[in-house]
Amino acid sequence: MSFFHNIIGILTEHGIAFLQASWMTISITAISLLFATIIGIIFAGFKISSIKLLNRIADIYIGVIRGTPLIVQIMFLYYGLANFVTLDSFTAGALALGIHTGAYIAEIFRGAVQSIDRGQMEAARSLGMSYSLAMRRIIFPQALKRAVPSLANQFIISLKDSSLVAYISVTDLYNTALTVQGENYMPFETYFVVGLYYLIIVLIFTWFANRLEKKLDVSKPKEVKIA
């Protein structure tokens, strides 16, 4: 009973702080994902481009980002660049998360685009469409539908990865948990509570993602008829 009593006590005393921290976690995740999606689309384009230089640039970016820990990237942007440019903790955290996630989203989009039958592009080009127009109107809409499940999974991973910004003093959920457990000396109960907050956010997002998948009918991708 003491366990549940402690849980209720933490929620009563620090519930508002955890709610505010939840909003901070959602905010930094949303901003970083917007940035990551833009980066992902650009570098996916580089990967599938016929220009070898663009392929090489994409390979270097994806290789470096996926080959180094996110916490190192966060620390590099916040502390490592301090001699050249000063970034506040929120901006540094959002940029690091965006750059890190962008590499994975680039691969998701690349795989989705390349999964589309080449005949779709050939049919579009035979009708006089430029490559860029065919990509925008024919290929990418189909690829986006196929990418939704993988993107949803990556977004959830990014939400959980956002806890690392606590180490540069962003007052997110994990940072708040560190502060609370330092005051009450109840780490088990405190991290149990913060785990519940993360779980609730993830479940809500998963519900919306599942709704989107069903609406787009991504399990049964349909090819676009050109003529």
Q: Which of 11, 6, 20, 25 is nearest to 158 (CA)?
A: 25
222 is a domain residue: no
Residue 17 inside a domain? The answer is yes
Predicted local distance difference test score (pLDDT) of residue 1: 59
pLDDT at position 226 over 70: no
d(CA 195, CA 160): 10
pLDDT score recorded for residue 125: 82
* Mean pLDDT in residue range 198-202: 95
- Whose CA is closest to 165, among 62, 40, 73? 73
Per-residue pLDDT of 35-55, as tens digits, reads 999 999 999 999 998 899 999
35 in any annotated domain: yes
- Structural domain contains residue 225: no
Burial of 32 (0-12, 13-18, 19+ CB in 10 A): buried
Is residue 168 within 8 A of residue 159, CB to CB? The reply is no
Domain that holds residue 184: 2-216
Number of structural domains the chain divides into = 1
Residue 223 domain flag? no
**Secondary structure letter of residue 223 according to DSSP:** P
Span 85-116, pLDDT tens digits: 889 999 999 999 999 999 999 999 999 999 98
Is residue 34 in some structural domain?
Answer: yes
**Does the residue 227 lie in any domain?**
no
pLDDT of residue 221: 47
How would residue 138 be classed by pLDDT, with cut points 50, 70 and 90? confident
| CATH number of the CATH domain containing 42 | 1.10.3720.10
Q: Is residue 86 part of a domain?
A: yes
The answer to whether residues 146 and 112 touch, using CB atoms and an 8 Å cutoff, is: yes
